[in-house]
Every structure is written in C-alpha cells, then in structure tokens.
Structure 1
Amino acid sequence: MRLLTTILIFIFGAINLTHGQEKVLFFQTDWGNQLSLDQFCERTKASGYDGIETWFPWDTKKQEELKAALKKHGLLVNFLHGTNKGLPFEASLEQFRKGLETITQWKPVLVNCHTGSDFYTASQNAAFIEAANAISAKNDVPVYHETHRGRFSYSLPETKQYLNTIPDLKLTLDISHWMVVHESLLEGQDELLDIVKNRSHHIHARIGHAEGPQVNDPKAPEWNRALERHLGIWEEIIRNGWKEHKGVFTVTTEFGPADYMPTLPYTRIPLSDQWEANVFMMEAIKERLKLNN
C-alpha cells in the first residue's frame, strides 16, 4: 500500500483514481549513459519520463548525487539488482540478500532483478526468488524478476515451470529476449504466454526479433510486424495490470547502446539513436493505449 500511495500522490496529489484516469509511469534506462547524472535526469524529465531505472550505486557519493538529481528534477526511481554468477552459490545468495535489503531501504518504486542463472538448479534459482520475495514483503517494496537470457527465466517454457511452482513469483517482462531464444515472434504461443502475461507487473520495452534482442531502429518499416507483436502483448498486460495496480502500471524503455545496438563495421557507429528509439517506444505505447500523459 505504501508504494501505491506514493505513486498516486506523485501523479494526482490526494485524488483517487477513477475510471478513465489510468496511467503508465515511464522510466528511462541509464544504460550506456555518458551524461552527468544531473544532465541525464534533466534530459529524462524534458523527454516526458516519470523516472529513471538504474543499477543501485554502492558508492556513497554517487548515492547523494542520485538523491539530489531525482529531487531536483522530480523523478522517481527503479533500481536494478542481480545474482552474481561468478560467485559460488551460497556466497552469491548471501550477497544478493544483503544487497536487496539495502536497496529496498531506499523505497524505490520497484526493484527489477536479474535473478539466478541458467546453469543453476531449479532449487538454487528458487532460493533467490524466495529470498527476494521475502525481502519485498518485509520492506513493502515490489521486487520483480526479469525474463532475461542467462537467468532462470531465459526461456518461455522454463519460466512457466517456475510460475507453476512459485505462486508469488512476479515478473518484469522483457520479451525481446525470448524472441531471439525461440527464434520467433512467439506467434502461435499465446496459450503458453497467458500465465506470463498474468504474472508480469513491469515491462521493459525493447523490440526483439528472431535473430536478435534489439532491432536496429524500431521506426523502420521492415520491423513493423515485430513492433506490432510486442505492442499487442504489452497492451494486454498493461490493461490487465491497471485492474490489479489501481490504474497505475510501469514501463521502462530499454533500447541499449552500441554494441547491443547494431553498428556499422569498423567504425562501430550505431545504426540509430538510442535515446530517440526509447522515446519512440514511449510514444508508441501511449498511442496504442490512447493515453494523454
């Protein structure tokens, strides 16, 4: 309840949401950012975002800079957290727990986790999910687990197994990863996707395709089929999510920089502008949902 109250006050003051006031809070990724934190937040606000999504800064000076920039520009924050796959399982789990305890003390809108590993056993991955869910409940901060290559959620069938066995598992859906893992736009898999849609509480908006997790330019007409497929899935999740989250849903636009962004050979010049691609995604979702925010 604390989270919803904070968000609703941020958007509407003390006014309760009524029909027709549904809202999507948009967050800009700082992935690949080369600006100062203040400049990045200033540009984020000017582009129409409600907040930023970033890895938690463990340096105390950077923490103070982040607090100041968020306050100055009136922005919310989502934090990223993850499993360190380079450590032995028990050490990694302990580090994960301690880090998440610290992060949730900041009371972000949510924490998005890169959880577990595709090389861990099901019980090892479940230990990370259960630890995150316990800390989430204890500190009243939503913790979602991103569908991501290299993690427990690297594929649609594997993720479905975890959803079936862990009732309180909540996802951040970045379906672009699955498009490349399954070498398709997952057409014909809507029945399998139903449980994923119902358990997705945050979206990472990036357009993937059968051969990669990120198209070179989402505005290009050759990617229209992929764009429409993603938008259709997101629309269904958001509209359902509005019912559960009292009219508020969160989306992070997450097109990445070079070399995640396809580049020209030799020069490594990106084939499109990352910032423009992310703003395009925000506007495309608004248009799809007929939002005025």
Structure 2
Amino acid sequence: MAHFDMTRINDGSNRPPRLEIHQSMWAMMGHGEADVEPSLETKLERIASAGFTGILARVPELAVREEWKRLLKQYGLSFGSHCFPFNPSDLSAHIHQANDMDMLYVNGQVADAFVIGDEAIELLGGLGAVSAAHQMPFYVETHRGKITQDVIRTVQYAQALPNLRFTLDISHYVLAGEMTEKQDKAELLFKTVLERTSAIHSRISSGEQIQVDAGYSDAILERYEKWWTQAMRYWLQGAKPGDVLPFVCELGPAPYAIKGLDGRELTSRWEQALILKNIAQACWKRATVE
C-alpha cells in the first residue's frame, strides 16, 4: 500500500475511489447437488465469472493455503478475512497467521455482547491500536450477539473512539430492534454508524427474520437501499485515489436461509446474491451522481 489510513482500504493505485462487490465464502456453502459441496476452484470460478472482484472468508488452514493463494491469483480475486477477537492479542495473532495472504482488510465480529461501557471502549481501542501497528485495516462488524449488539451502545463507542470504523451490516439492527417501519430515533443513531462505514455486508432482514429475499417487501428494500447509498456517500467524502469500499454479498445458509418442509431452501441464495450485486451498483451510481 502506498500509505496507511486505518479508516480506509487503499490498494496503492491511482485509480479513482471505487466500490468493489465481493462474495462471502460462507454464503457459498450448500450450493452443491445431492449434498456434494463444490470444490474451492468451482466456487471461485463461479464468483469471478459473475463479476465479483473479491471474497470474504476465514483464513485458510496452512495445509490448503497455497491452493487458495494460487486460485485467488488465477481468478483475480482479492481477499478479506473474518476474525472473531476477544482481545487485541487475538487480532494480532490473526494478522500474523495470515501474513502471506495479501489481505485487503480484516472484518471483526468482536466478542461479546456482555462486554459494555468502558470495558468495551478499552477493548475496541486496543484492537484499533493493533490495526495501526500492523498497518492492516480492521473494521468492527455491526452484529447482534457481539460487542456491537445494539445501535445505541455502538454509537457510544463511536463517540468515544474517533478512529473506530465499521463493517455495516444493518440487517442485525433491523432484526434485533424489530424495526419493520422507519423510526426517527433509530435513524439518528444509524447516521453515526453510516458515517463511520468502511465496508458493507449486504443482507436484508425483516423485524422477525435475519434473512429475507430482496423482493420480500418493496418498502423494506427501499430503506436498505437508502442506508447503503448514504453510507457510500459518506465514504466518498475525502476518498483518495486507490481507496476501495467493499460491498460483500453475505447470504448465509440455514438457519439464516429459510427452509421449507422438504428441507430445501425456499429460494436461491446465489440468484439473490446477483440481485444484491445489481442493487449495490445502482446505489453506487446514485451516491456518485446525486
């Protein structure tokens, strides 16, 4: 990288600031026929052929690391990693273990929902210090059941830590708060999180189900589109050449996906991922021209 800014991913190029649409490898689970999981190469080839430019995944085990690196290079896919730290040492170890993976950034689901107040602020500050020391962008995912359990406490952390940046997955807050309709108090809090967004995870939830189809409700879809577009607008403020905003399609297998009585998922997560990809491109267009 040409320079390090903890708040942004930068590839060191002179390309204009850009949105990159990535696919979650977790979301690729369970797409095989007759319960046979496709090979890694089959999955990566499918991702690249559909126009995705990167993936988000756990760091592969050493035994298969070289295969991953070869295939990522072959299909021209960037790599962002998942991390689940309980403390700064966990994040430091994660970065060390993956030092040969040419990671674009680390996405963190920080444990746990019962760490609150000053203890949470100290933990998040320590994780930020590790990110800066290793010059590896690290973004805290807004996720229920984690340190960012609800938007109220998450905003408190953001106010205490000026450099704290988020991977925006607003589906968790819609679900946890049963926010089936627009709520002005929530929107004020969301604004702070949107302003601090450095990556986006795309999934649409209702107030009762963590993952629903894009066509579930026009009104709910419109709200997500507005949130994603506004996060992109904020990110573009001050963006520099080479800056990258990852938009990850992250539609999980059951129990995130809904199954019918026959044990099959009701809709195709892959087809839904392609719909989300198109939605992201439309949001980016609005963010850059309006």
Query: Is the contact between residue 21 and residue 52 of structure 2 (CA under 8 Å) also seen in structure 1?
Result: yes
| Letter aligned with residue 38 of structure 1 | E
1:66 match: 68
Preserved contact between residue 88 and residue 130 of structure 2 (Cα < 8 Å): no
Q: How does 1:5-84 map to 2 (within 5 A)?
A: 7=11, 9=13, 15-17=14-16, 22-31=17-26, 32-33=28-29, 34-57=37-60, 59-83=61-85
- In the alignment of these two chains, the number of paired residues is 271
- CA distance in structure 1 between the aligned counterparts of 2:75 and 2:254, rounded to whole angstroms: 27
Q: How does 1:163-242 map to 2 (within 5 A)?
A: 163-185=158-180, 186-188=182-184, 189-215=186-212, 217-218=213-214, 220=215, 222-242=216-236
The AA in structure 1 aligned to 2:237 is: K
**How far apart are 1:105 and its partner, in Å?**
5.9
Cα displacement (A) at 1:139:
2.0
Are residue 243 (structure 1) and residue 243 (structure 2) matched?
no
SS in 2 for 1:109: strand
Q: CA deviation digits over 1:153-187, x for unaligned, max 9? A: 11110111111112221110100000011101453
Give per-residue Cα distances to partners, 1:1-36, cap 9 Å, x unaligned: 447896364xxxxx543xxxx521011001152322
Shift in Å, 1:116? 2.2
| Match status 1:112 vs 2:107 | yes
CA offsets, 1:83-134, max 9 Å, x none? 35xxxxxxx6543432234335644111100012112243443343223212
- Of 258, 261, 268, the residue aligned with 1:262 is 258
Report if aligned partners of 2:228, 2:283 keep a CA contact under 8 Å in 1.
Answer: no
Equivalent position of 2:34 in the other structure: none
Residue 283 of structure 1: aligned partner:
278
- Indicate conservation of the 8 Å contact 2:109/2:143, yes or no: yes
Deviations 1:198-243 (A, max 9, x none): 111110011011112111x21x2x4211111011011011122123
RMSD over aligned Cα, in angstroms? 2.3
Q: Identify unmatched segments of 5+ residues in structure 2.
A: 30-36
Aligned sequence identity (%): 25
CA contact (8 A) 1:253 1:281 kept: yes
Instruction: Confirm or deny: 8 A CA contact 1:207 1:213 kept in the other structure.
Output: yes
Normalized against structure 2, the TM-score is what? 0.85
- Tell me the CA shift for residue 136 of structure 1: 1.4
CA distance in 1, matches of 2:249, 2:120: 27
